[in-house]
Amino acid sequence: MEIKNKNVFITGSTRGIGLAIAEEFAKAGANVIINGRSQVTEEVLATMTAYGVQAVGVSGDISSTDDAKRMIQEATEALGSVDILINNAGITKDKIVLGMKEDDFESVLKINLVGAFNMTQAVLKPMTRARQGAIINVASVVGLIGNAGQANYAASKAGLIGFTKSVAREVAGRNIRVNAIAPGFIESDMTAGLADKIKEMMQAQIPMKRFGSVQEVATAVIFLASQEYMTGQVLTIDGGMVM
Ligand code: NAD
């Protein structure tokens, strides 16, 4: 799929992996819709328009059905269509399962999984009419192999992988592709707070012995968006954790 001039909505794209994905699409000539829970700053939009593309800020909470519908509508009004959706926004609330409150479990599922469902459902109607589109869900290797202290997060990402494969089957005949990426440990705000000792332990589990960068994840997303005969797949970007 030609990326140039396509309109790409990236959830949770004011920082981290989402911001890097947006910048990589802008570099490739795509117009980008930047989303955060609060208002998107002019600075972020200027980073994108510097590549000669259009950039629109749309604020809202993906875990709200109404916000999801409104955000897709606002993006469509601003740019004419949403051709590619990247379900990137996500949170962690790490605790061992014995100490996990119901709300710790539910709130992670509500954003990481229900949020992706809300956005997908909102975008699929116009994509189905247009008979073209691509959706990429940002899962995690934790959804494939689990992680102690992240049962809620792992369940949400494993759920997102099942969701990806099911929706891919539903819409393949409409020329809409649905894939997922599963990053390993990536340098971002999500991992910045980890204690050095924990980081060292995590690095020891990675065959390539280093965390990935947000740009490395972003280039894999561009590949999945442009590849025209792949659907229902999970691409790991993890320095060899899952082989
Ligand atoms: P981050 O915390 O830096 O960024 C997450 C973004 O999502 C933020 O902009 C945040 O505001 C937004 N967000 C959170 N809840 C939202 C909501 N309800 N509505 C709208 N936006 C919301 O995290 P990151 O490391 O950039 O992670 C991005 C994605 O990559 C997440 O889905 C995460 O699970 C996944 N991931 C991260 C790593 C890693 O090591 N950093 C590894 C594998 C997968």
Q: Averaged over 70-78, what is the pLDDT?
A: 98
CA of 110 to the centre of ligand 1 (A): 13
Q: Tokens 């117009």 belong to which residue?
A: 31
Please say if the pLDDT value at position 225 is more than 90. Answer: yes
Beta-strand pair 84-87/133-138: parallel
Average pLDDT value over all residues in the chain: 97
Residue 51 bears catalytic tag: no
* Structure confidence at residue 29 as a pLDDT band (50, 70, 90): very high
* Structure confidence at residue 167 as a pLDDT band (50, 70, 90): very high
CA of 187 to the centre of ligand 1 (A): 12
Question: Which residue in 166, 214, 190, 23 sits closest to 93, CA to CA?
Answer: 190
**Superfamily (CATH H level) for 7-236:** NAD(P)-binding Rossmann-like Domain (3.40.50.720)
ipTM score of the complex?
0.99
Question: Which residue in 67, 6, 1 sits closest to 32, CA to CA?
Answer: 6
Catalytic residue among 153, 163, 185, 211: 153
Q: CB count, 10 Å around CB of 174?
A: 15
Distance CA 154, CA 8 (A): 27
Q: Which residues contact 116 (CB under 8 A, 6 or more apart)?
A: 62, 87, 137, 160, 163
- 224: phi then psi, degrees, rounded to nearest 5: -65, -35
Q: Whose C-alpha lies nearest to ligand 1, atom 31?
A: 90
pLDDT in the model for residue 27: 98
Please say if the pLDDT value at position 111 is more than 90. Answer: yes
Beta-strand pair 84-87/7-10: parallel
Q: Whose C-alpha lies nearest to ligand 1, atom 23?
A: 190
- Specify the pTM: 0.98
Structure tokens belonging to residue 14: 């004011």
Please say if the pLDDT value at position 1 is more than 90. Answer: no
Reported as a single tens digit per residue, the pLDDT across 135-165 is 999 999 999 999 999 999 999 999 999 999 9
Per-residue CA distances from 57 to 45, 74, 139, 159, 211 (Å): 7, 9, 24, 28, 30
Q: Whose C-alpha lies nearest to ligand 1, atom 8?
A: 12
* Structure confidence at residue 4 as a pLDDT band (50, 70, 90): very high
CA of 192 to the centre of ligand 1 (A): 12
**Interaxial angle between packed helices 16-27 and 214-226, expressed in degrees from 0 to 180 and rounded to the nearest 10:** 50
Please say if the pLDDT value at position 190 is more than 90. Answer: no
